[in-house]
Every structure is written in structure tokens, then in C-alpha cells.
Chains A and B, each alone.
Chain A
Amino acid sequence: MKFLQLLSTYGEYVREFYVRYPGIGERPYAEQNALLIRDGYSIVHMFARYLGPFGFETGMIFTDCETTQKKWVAEQGVTLTRPENWRHEIAARQVNAFRPDILYLTEPVYFDRRFLDLLDHRPRMVLGWKAAAIPPATNWHGFDLIVSNFSPTFARARELGAKRAEFITPGFPDGLREELPDDGKTWDVSFVGSVSSEHQTRTDYLNSLAKAQLGPGHDFSLGYFLRTAEPDIVPLGVALHNQGTRWGEDMHRILKGSRIALNIGIDLAKGETGNMRMIEATGLGSFLLTEYQDNIRRYFEPGLEVETFRSPGELAEKIRHYLGHEAEREAIARRGRERCLRDFSMSKSAKRLVDLIRETVV
């Protein structure tokens, strides 16, 4: 059975990728694509990379990487009929060429029904991943399944036309931690992610921590690795510590190299947690200090496998405490990693996805 994953990325990542690998844009498409896969952007969502053992022939396409995608067009000797809509057109041509049985879309808002209508080849099953805000104009008619770990998605998916919606978590790739170089602990506290108008709570927490750092007894190294599309709304305390965005392996090295990895969700997720950062930080063996949400126990046991906070004061206090109690901190980190590898490994999540596929495609 053929499984094709269409993966979407941030524009900043794409730009940085071609800078980081000078000349890569001139290389054959297959070489570029292989490097993108190896680079590990959004690796906890790269199911296509891990379905081989389940008997799938897999492929993965980075739909936003214009240079790479247009290299494919050139190699195929085709002419785009709608260059202004190259993302859709190239991806559709690639789907038609690959002829997957299963088409998995990790950005099913841009690649929604309007994209499916462009396809000559009709996969036996179309599924998408969504765990964030869904614009009202989204059309999921033609989608057999939407998977998510964010509960409001399920009802909304069916309203928008998807036949089913099921819970699944991203998966931590087995062996990822071991593949990373051992840099030691270079940061006391780190946060990797975005700040925007949709992350006001996150911004406030990060700024409160920058302020707490100036207080007596709170001198610790603090690294924020932020994607900031709206720099005007970033307060100085956050900007002061922003070391710039990190992607893929660089991001994982930051998480692994932090005594405390912070997690604060998007505003939309009030009451729910379960983002990729939790999986990645614990899987990489770091102590996760995460904003308390009602469903935290669905993932980790607070105080045992991770630690939580409910206020800026508690955040600062727990940082002070756990930086001063290394053995306690490392014991929690160890148990958090064990839990992650036991319940949120890629092999387990991939198995869950395969089961869902087989329920649809007999």
C-alpha cells in the first residue's frame, strides 16, 4: 500500500534551510527531498518516515519548499498552468505521479477540498492532521479522517465535512536522542516556539520570567528561541532573551541541552495540553516544566514525570527550586522520558495511525 505525506512548513524554515545548505537548490530533487527529511523539521509528525515496517511504500513532499518543488517540475519537464498557485499544482502533480493509496495532509486548511478537486488520482483514503484554529471557510468534504490531539477539532472536523475524527498524538522517534551530539546542558531554562497575537498567555509568562530573573536569587541562564512574525507586540523581556528561531536538529539540541524546558500552549488551547513540545522535550530527556492544563494527566503525571505551574509566581518559584535540586529534577526528567517512550513513541503513534487506516481501507 502506498502512503504519501504532504508536509507544510514555516516560510522562515524554508529560507533558513537553503541558507544552511548552500548550493542544495541546484541538486537533484531526490537529493534535496532526502535532505529535508533528514533535517527533521516537525519530525514528530513525519509518519511517512516510520511506516515502512508496517508494509507501506512511503513518500514525503515538502509542499512549501519552492526551490525543491520547482526542481521537481523542471526534472519532470512539465509546465505549470497556474504558476501563481504553484503549491497546489505541483503537489497535485506529485500526488498524481506517486498514486498513493493513502494521502496524509499535515496542513489540511490550505490543502483542503479545493486541493483534492485538483487531483486526477483519487486515493483510497484522505486524512489530515489538525490541532489548532480552523478557519471557517475550511472544506473537509472528501476527507475520510481528521486526526488530532486537540478535542475541539473532532466535532468541528465533522461539521466541515470529514467523515471521521480520531485522537492521535504525535510520536517521538525512537533513537532521536541518541542521534544528537552530546552538548551537555548549555541552558538553565529554555523555550522554543512561536510568539504572536495568538500566544498572549505564553508571551506574558515568558516576560514574567525575564523579570523574575532580575530578582534576588533568580540568576539563571534563559534562552528563548522564538519565531516572531509580529515583533512589535513582543515585550522587551521576551525580546531580550530571544536567540532566534531554531528548527529540526538545532531545536532538538536546545531542548536536550536545557536543564528545564518550558512549555506554554497557544491561547486557543486553554484547558488542554499535548503539543509537540511536550513530547519532544520529555523524549529528549529534559525536565519539562509545563503550564498546568486540565488534561495534563492524559500525558504525564505532574510532580512525577513533569512539573507544572499555574501562575508567573509559581513558574519562577519552581525554576528556582528545580535548578537548586538537580537530583530531584533529573529523576523527574528520567521518568518523563520513560513515559514518553512508553506511550508517545513514534512506533506507538504510527501503529495507532496504521490501525485507523486499516479501519477505513480494508
Chain B
Amino acid sequence: MSGIAGIFNFGATVDRDALVRFTDALAHRGPDGRGVMYDGKLGLGHRRLAVFDRTRHGHCPMPYEDSQPVSGKRSLRDRIAAFAGVNSEEAALTPFRYWLTFDGEIYNFPELRRELGAMGYRFRSETDAEVVLAAYAQWGESCLFRFNGSWAFALWDRQERTLFLARDRFGERPLYYTHSPTRLAFASEMKAFLSLDGFRPALKEELVPSLLVNPAAHEGTTDETLLIGLRRLPSGHSARVTGEGALHVRRWWDTREHLPKIGSRYEDHVARCRQLFQESVRLRLRSDVRTGIRQDGSFADSAIAGAAAGLKKTGADLSRVRDKSPQLFVPNPASGFEDGKSPAGTTPQGRVQVITFDPEAVSREVVDAAWSAEVIGPAPATPSWCFYRELRGAGGVISLESHGAEELLGGHPRHLDCFTARINSQLADEFHATRLPALLRERDGCSLAHGVVARSPFLDWELVAFAQTLPASSKFGGGYTQRVLRDAMKDILPEQVLKQRTRARFDSPLAGRFKGRLAPLLRQLVNHPRCLESRHWDGAALRKSVLEKSEAGSWTAQDEAEIAAVWTRLSLVLWQLLFVDGVKPEGVLR
């Protein structure tokens, strides 16, 4: 998990200082080190958050040899013996064919490593990044299908003089790029481009109307971003860039092409769900750093904890797992949990660490969260942002979470409005386009802002394909949503947890904050020319409405829809201040 950046010029050589500035704009994503490499017109940058093999052997950008090894060939370890001690900025002179800058995690890398090792590949590190390189060397672009994980990476082929970019199946790791006749530049986050020489940020006004109607759908339904000239590489896509400046983007993953054949027996669905879910949790427990399970109070969170506990009991292979009994990180102090223990029957595990913070964050934290998350939405991202800050402060690095569970198996009240015959298509739409991509983008921004890695067992591709094949009756029935998962966890989780219907509500009502601690920020935003002169709403009317209600303290929970609409607009104003006008977060509040 890291920040990646790169510049591929089609004429001039890369300016070293420019690449360093570009890379360091992502310093928050990589507290464990910086790496850059140059190869004439190509430069790669990396900010490292070390999860596997925290030694210097995991340093990125990382090289690999140029051909499949044969028996008796000089081992890679020997060939790079000198490299390990070389400053990577001088590494452009080394003779390796492939160079990788990598953000993400390949959870099944030990298995791939063994497979590649049997073919003669040798490895100098214990990292997944090195396995990505060897896999690419062996299988080319089709290596992507073998990865089970979340990633965004760029791989430079010195021999072909091409740059290969790839993003994971469901968009867990972000990747943005700008492409012109003279260069392609890419980075993990939009904010990095504010430090890219020659990039002039400007709002793409044409996107605003649809954004205001449905901000959650923006991330997953277009490759255009709110910044003119900046695109996102969509989830499940890869791109190849040639030295002549040609860019070929293609979709490498479409879940619909990987749906398994399942029978009609519900009991079989339950058994397969259990198998896939436990395997997903097992893989996602792998790390060399402290790992915990975020417990917001939903059934899906408890299922993760239950599966983890079940793995230990059944003697599953937990090699590469540092924390075999991961703690529960509980972000809601009001949940009834206490430090060190949990109420009987609510969780299969006993070790609990309460992550305490004020959910009614102050204006300053709202700005910081907006800067980190980079998304426009109906509510500030502060609860998550604050949670990850405190989690890292308490020593946590990996947080297993239930993102995607509702979009995969249902569970949100909005699903209950759907007719049975249509629910599966709605869930698939939410998962791939209209809901989850925005949530994942926010999660990535807020967690990596604090050096925390968020993983979700519900985003395992085999589990996703399986769940999207299930009939609606396996997801909804007997009075419960997520039915198949509940039955899959039957002898693992306590009855009380299996019957838990209420969803986690990990936020704080905005109405109170609008008339309280957020009022200063609201006043500043509605008075800003970006708001008053917007072509997308009546700025004067918005200002009047917000100020009147805030000063009268008359916002109530009944104003939920209006509050969401107001914050969507004001978050766009805030976003423009940060990402177009270049105001630093600390400079927004005067």
C-alpha cells in the first residue's frame, strides 16, 4: 500500500526535481520511504507503506530480470547483489528489463511465489511487488487474472520501451493520469497533479450537473474527473503507453465473464459462501504489520471476526499472518464495547480496542477529510478520516472491513424498495458503478492519509462472482438480508449476532453539526464567490437559506434531504478551493 507516480515524456528526458515533487505530493501514502528511478524519458516514483517485508528489499521502484530463468542460469539474488546497496536514483544504469512502482497488495502472492519458484524464478524479497514482476515476466498482461488483491501499478519494460498501467478488478486502489502529445503522467491521487509541472487545474463544469444529482455515481460511471484533462484508469482496466505517445486503454476484467456455475440448492450456496468467505478472510489476514478488524456493529463486520476466529480453530494455514487473533477495532465508543473485552454474545472474539474520537468533527477536520478523500458527497468524510487517524495512533496498520457487503448481498434499506426480480441487477450496478466505487475512493483517501491499509474480504473476486450469480432468494429471505452469509456463519457466530438486523450507522447526524460546530465553515463556503457565482445553483438563495437556518439553529433531522443537497454543493465549493484554487487545507479556514 503506497503512493505511486510517474512521468513518461515522449520527447524530452524527465526532470528529476519535477518527479520528486510529483512523488512527494503523495508522501502521506508512504511514511516508510521514498523511491524514484529514471530511465531517460521515463521516471517512476514511489512512497512506501510497508506491509510485507519491511526491509530495504521491498524498496520500490523495483526491478526484475529480462527473461524467464533457465536451470543453471545465474540467480537473480546474485545478479542484484550489488543493487541492494545501490541508491535507487542511480538504478537507471542497472541492466534489468522490468521496473515496477506498485500500490496495493496481492494477497495470494505466497502461492504465486511458490508456483513461479518452481519454474525457476528466484526472489530477493518477501514482497508481493516482486511476485508481480515475476508474474508479468512469465505471463505478460494475463498475470492480472492470477492476482487476488487490490492494486494500482505501473510497470516499465525497458526493452520494449512501453509503460504498462493496471488497476485492480473493483477499484480499491486509485490511479489517475493525464495524457498529452508530449507526455503521460500518472499518480495515485488527484492532488499530486497540483505539483506536476505544467498542469493547470480547472473544473470540468460539464460534469457538475450529474454530480449534483448523484454524487456517488460519479466515481464509477465515467473515466473523467472533475479536473479538466485528468482521467482515472477505471477499475478492471489496464493501459499501455508507447514511447511514441500512443495510449491504449482496455478493460481486462468484467465480472460477468467470470460468473461460476452454481446449482439451485440453497444448502450448496451456503456451503460455497462459507468456503469462499473464510478463504477470503484467511488471505486478507496476511501481513507483517499489526492487523485488526474494524467492528462498526454490522452483521458483516461480525462475520469477518467470526471467520477469522474460525480459521484459527480449524487449523487453517495461517503462514504469513502476523496476528492470528486480530483485535477488533471498535470506532464507536457508544456501541457498548469496552477496551479489552466485548459484551457476551456480540462477537466471537474477546480482544477489543476502542478507537475513540469525536464523531462531530470540527470544521478543520472536515477540510482535512475533504482533502484526503477527494470526493464530492452528501456528507463529510470525517468519521472515517478521524477513525483511521486514531487507529494509526493506536498502532494499527491493517484494518479488515466490510466494504462491499451491502452492495454484494444487500442490507441497505434502499434495497427493500426494489422489486425482487430487479434486485440483482441493482446490486451489480451499485457494486460496479453507482455506489461502491465512491465509497472505496473515500476509504482509500482517508485511510492512506494516516498510513492505514483498509482491506475488505467482501471484495475477493471469487466471492464477488459467486454472490453475483446467486438468486435474490439466497440473499433476501426469512426476514433477513445477507441471508446466505448468515447461514454460512451459523455454527460460528452467536445466535444474537446472526439475528442482528440493524445496520451500522457510523456517522453523526449533520443537522446538529450544521447549526453547531460546522457553522463557521458553512458561513465561509456560502459567502465564497465560488458558491455565490456558481452557474449550477442560485448562490444567493443557497446562502440565504443556509445562513438563516444555521443562525436560527433550525436544522433538524427532517431536513435530511436538504442537508445532503446543501453539503453536496458546499463540498464542491470546498473541493474547488483545494484542488482548483490550490488553497492548502490549513488555509481554507480563516
Contact = CB atoms under 8 A, between A and B. Distances in A.
A233 B481 contact: no
A231 interface: yes
B265 interface: no
Contacts of B116: none
Contacts of A232: 419, 421
B419 A235 contact: yes
Given A214-B501, A222-B479, A240-B477, A234 B416 contact: no
B417 A235 contact: yes
A211 interface: yes
Residue picked from B410, B420, B505, most chain A C-beta under 10 Å: B420
Residue picked from B416, B423, B481, most chain A C-beta under 10 Å: B416
Nearest to B416: A237
Nearest to A235: B417
A207 B503 CA distance: 17
Interface string A331-353: 00000000000000000000000
Contact of A210 (B416, B477, B502): B416
Interface residues of B, number: 23
Nearest to A207: B416
A236 interface: yes
B325 interface: no
Nearest to B481: A240
B419 A219 contact: no
Given A219-B501, A222-B479, A240-B479, A214 B419 contact: no
Interface in A214-245: 214-219, 221-223, 231-237, 239-241
Chain B interface, DSSP helix/strand/loop, else mixed: mixed
A246 B88 CA distance: 75
Interface in B464-514: 472, 476-477, 479-481, 500-503, 505
B417 A207 contact: yes
B502 A215 contact: yes
A240 B416 contact: yes
Given A234-B420, A236-B420, A240-B481, A214 B413 contact: yes
Given A214-B503, A218-B502, A234-B420, A239 B413 contact: no
B6 interface: no
A211 B410 CA distance: 12
A114 B419 CA distance: 40
Residue picked from A207, A210, A232, A239, most chain B C-beta under 10 Å: A239
A96 interface: no
A316 to B, nearest CB: 11
Given A214-B413, A215-B502, A216-B505, A239 B476 contact: yes
A213 interface: yes
Given A214-B411, A221-B479, A222-B479, A236 B416 contact: yes
Given A221-B479, A240-B476, A240-B479, A215 B417 contact: no
Contacts of B418: 235-236
A219 B479 contact: no
A236 B502 contact: no
Nearest to A218: B502
Contacts of B411: 214
Interface in B245-275: none
Contacts of B501: 213-214, 219
B521 to A, nearest CB: 27
B392 interface: no
A219 to B, nearest CB: 5
Nearest to A237: B416
A200 B500 CA distance: 29
Nearest to A211: B413
Interface string B385-415: 0000000000000000000000000111101
A353 B414 CA distance: 49
A221 B419 CA distance: 22
Interface of B: 410-413, 415-421, 423, 472, 476-477, 479-481, 500-503, 505
Given A214-B502, A234-B420, 8 more contacts: A213-B501, A215-B505, A216-B502, A219-B502, A232-B421, A235-B419, A237-B413, A241-B479
Interface of A: 207, 210-211, 213-219, 221-223, 231-237, 239-241
25 contacts: A207-B417, A214-B411, A214-B481, A214-B501, A214-B502, A215-B505, A216-B502, A219-B500, A219-B501, A221-B479, A231-B420, A232-B419, A235-B418, A236-B415, A236-B418, A236-B419, A236-B423, A236-B472, A237-B413, A239-B420, A239-B476, A240-B416, A240-B477, A240-B479, A241-B479
